[in-house]
Structure 1
Amino acid sequence: MQTELNKVINALHEFYAREAFLLEKDVGERALTHRLAVHFEAQFSGWEIDCEYDRLGDRTLRLPHGSIVSSDDHLAKSIYPDIVVHQRAIPNNLLAVEVRKSANHQPLEHDQHKLRALTDPHLWFAYWIGLLLTLDKKQVTMSEVYTSGALDQTLSIWFAGRLKDAGLSAG
């Protein structure tokens, strides 16, 4: 998993180096996630990178009933991850990423619940890794790594250290 997370570090480095204009202009989260996804493409050869992807093979992505996360995207609080690294046709799901701007004052619980659900190994479509990133204009201000349906403290600490070592976080 560290290999894949190092690829995310590389993509974030390129993102911050090349997208300063968008960050300074305080564009919306969806514009930022699109540009970050572009930088993911250079790192994840052989994988497809999509934003707000709503399919699993031929099926529409839906979580089990009783979930607090909705399939309705009217309020932009859907179950669809901001960025996914996957193989569409199989489906083979490597990485689900939720991105937040540091100015977003909505509670983290929605994104955290979504990543726990999307990495739940009891669901046939589980992503191997879930990643929550909070982005400021100059750096990542918060990150969490999810595996097997739960926050992975060890990987989260490791990833935060890698962000700091790369100059991408005050850590």
Structure 2
Amino acid sequence: MQTELNKVIAALRDFYAHEGFLFEKDIGERAITHRFAVYLEKQFPGWAVDCNYDRLGERTLHLPHGTIISTDDHLGKSIYPDVVVHQREIPNNLLAIEIRKASNHTALDHDQHKLRALTDAHVWFAYWIGVLLVLDQHNVTTSEVYVGGIVEPQLSRWFATRLEETGLGAAH
């Protein structure tokens, strides 16, 4: 998993090197998510990298009934992850990433719940790894790594430390 997370860090490094304009002009999260996906795609040859992808093979993504997240809209409040790394046809789901701007002051609950659900091995569309990234103009202010439907504390600490070592993380 560290190999995949190092690729996320490499993509973040390239993203921050080239996309400062997006933060300077306070561009929306969807544009930031898309531009990050462009850099992430370069790190995962042989994999598809998609934004707001709503399928698993031929099936549409749906969470079990009773969840707090809507799955019936295309307005952004849905299960569709911001960025995924996967193989569309098989399906083989490697990585789900939720991206937030640090200036977005709404609670992280929605994104955290999505990542817990998306990485839960008991749900039929589980991703191997989930990553929450909160971005400001210069670095990642908050990050969490999800495995098996929960935040993985050791991997989250390792990832935050790697971000700090590469100049992309907020020092604690």
What is the count of residue pairs matched by the alignment?
A: 171
What's 1:150 paired with?
150
| Cα distance between partner residues in 2 of 1:141 and 1:108 | 13
Q: Cα RMSD (Å) of the superposition?
A: 0.9
Q: Report the AA paired with residue 102 of structure 2.
A: S
SS in 1 for 2:145: strand
| Cα distance between partner residues in 1 of 2:137 and 2:58 | 38
1:114 equivalent in alignment to 2:114: yes
| Cα distance between partner residues in 2 of 1:138 and 1:72 | 35
| Cα distance between partner residues in 2 of 1:73 and 1:162 | 36
- Over residues 54-81 of structure 1, what are the superposed CA-to-partner deviations in whole Å (9 max), with x where a residue is unaligned? 0000000001101111113365211000
- Over residues 60-117 of structure 1, what are the superposed CA-to-partner deviations in whole Å (9 max), with x where a residue is unaligned? 0001101111113365211000000000001100000000000111111111111000
What's 2:3 paired with?
3
What's 1:77 paired with?
77
What's 1:88 paired with?
88
Which stretches of structure 1, 4 residues or more, deviate above 2 A after TM superposition?
A: 72-75
What's 2:133 paired with?
133
Q: Which runs of 5+ in 2 are unaligned?
A: none
Q: TM-score, normalised by structure 1?
A: 0.98
